Amino acid sequence: MRRLGYDKRFSYGICSSGGVIGMLIPPSILLVIYGLITEVSIGKLLIAGVVPGIILFVTFSVGISIMGKIKPSLVSPVQKRVPFEEKLKALVHFVPVIITFAIIVGGIFSGIFSPSEAGAVACLILIIWFFFLRLPFSNLWTSVKDTMLTVAMVFLILISAALFARFLNLSGIANKLTHYVVGSGYSPLGVMIASLVLYLVLGCFLDSISMLSITLPVLYPITDAMGINPIYYAVVVVMTIEAGLITPPVGLNIYAVKGVAEEDVSLEDLFIGAFPFLIMMILGIFLFIAFPALSTWLPDLML
């Protein structure tokens, strides 16, 4: 984008914010971790992220178009028309991804297999694609090794979260806090907004998995006792956590992008570039709070 003449703040704002959609569209590691900690159906959580992910994608796309119309200097001056035939040829490279996604999500949605079985099916499909596309064996080994490292890290965090939750239960803190909030007269909406503000603040200092591991053992029993739909709450929480990761002063997504950015790109440029997308995300969060059915209607259709 920089090479084609896009504004650097605009370019990096898109890059640092676009990854948020990946935390909603299956397979979302955050929704899986949410399900493991709270014992909510992981299959329903994964399917619940599809519609919000699409809506957020459309919101970002419309926002980018509007920004480009209002301030043309943000976009590339190169106006090259790509023939439709070339676009179709380019899509060939995405066929393995599209087929794998369709089989996994379709299988979970239709009840053909569970999320755990979907993981096994995904591995089998990827191995078939590996041989079909004649990729180097080193690529497969690198993927396996990276996966093992990631899984080991996540499992250590989940073990710590389970110990923390067990401690809260044995100490009685979680039950006392739940009884206090439920009996205090606070509305479910007020409790939900307060917890989302907490996630926005924590997002300035912690990574996503750590936030879920620390807060869910305390917050989930409260929201569950107040009758808040766990699927609906999970989607809004994941969106809020990801929004917190592009907020100053220590938005971790911003610092990750800074690590690979050119020398002329400052943290100020990155935060300013991400700010319009932060506003769009907050508007999206309010939309999902106002209309819970956007998060729940698709999981309710699962077989």
User: Would you list the domain boundaries of the chain?
Assistant: 8-82+139-300
User: What is the average pLDDT across 84-89?
Assistant: 82
The token pair that represents 281 in the structure block: 């995300």
User: What is the average pLDDT across 172-199?
Assistant: 79
Q: Which residue has the higher pLDDT, 179 or 73?
A: 73
Cβ burial, residue 163 (10 Å; 0-12/13-18/19+): exposed
The whole-number pLDDT of residue 66 equals: 92
23-54 burial: b if 16+ Cβ within 10 Å, else e: bbbbbbebbbbbbbbbebbbbbbbbbbbbbbe
Residues 212-253 have pLDDT tens digits of 888 888 888 888 888 889 999 999 999 888 888 888 777 778
The whole-number pLDDT of residue 174 equals: 67
Choose the weakest-confidence range: 48-52, 54-58, 209-213, 272-276: 209-213
| 83 phi-psi bin (left φ>0, alpha ψ -120 to 50, beta other) | beta
Q: Which residue has the higher pLDDT, 67 or 113?
A: 67
The whole-number pLDDT of residue 74 equals: 87
Q: Looking at the predicted structure, is the pLDDT value of residue 173 above 80?
A: no
The whole-number pLDDT of residue 63 equals: 92
Q: Which residue has the higher pLDDT, 164 or 293?
A: 293
User: What is the average pLDDT across 78-85?
Assistant: 77
Check if the beta carbon of residue 41 is closer than 8 Å to that of residue 35. yes
DSSP conformational letter for 54? H
The pLDDT mean for the chain works out to: 84
Cβ neighbours of residue 131 closer than 8 Å, sequence gap 6 or more = none
Residues 144-163 have pLDDT tens digits of 888 888 888 778 877 877 78
Residues 259-282 have pLDDT tens digits of 888 888 888 888 888 899 989 998
User: What is the average pLDDT across 48-54?
Assistant: 88
Beta-carbon count within 10 A of 265 CB: 18
Q: Which residue has the higher pLDDT, 95 or 168?
A: 95
Q: Give residue 90's identity as a one-letter amino acid code.
A: A
What is the spatial distance between Cα 93 and Cα 114, in angstroms, rounded to a whole number? 28
The whole-number pLDDT of residue 29 equals: 83
Quote the percentage of the chain above a pLDDT of 90.
Answer: 6
What is the spatial distance between Cα 63 and Cα 142, in angstroms, rounded to a whole number? 37
The token pair that represents 180 in the structure block: 């206090």
pTM of the model: 0.82
Cα–Cα distances in Å, from 286 out to 18, 134, 209? 19, 47, 23
User: What is the average pLDDT across 105-118?
Assistant: 84
- CA-based nearest residue to 53, from 25, 81, 72: 25
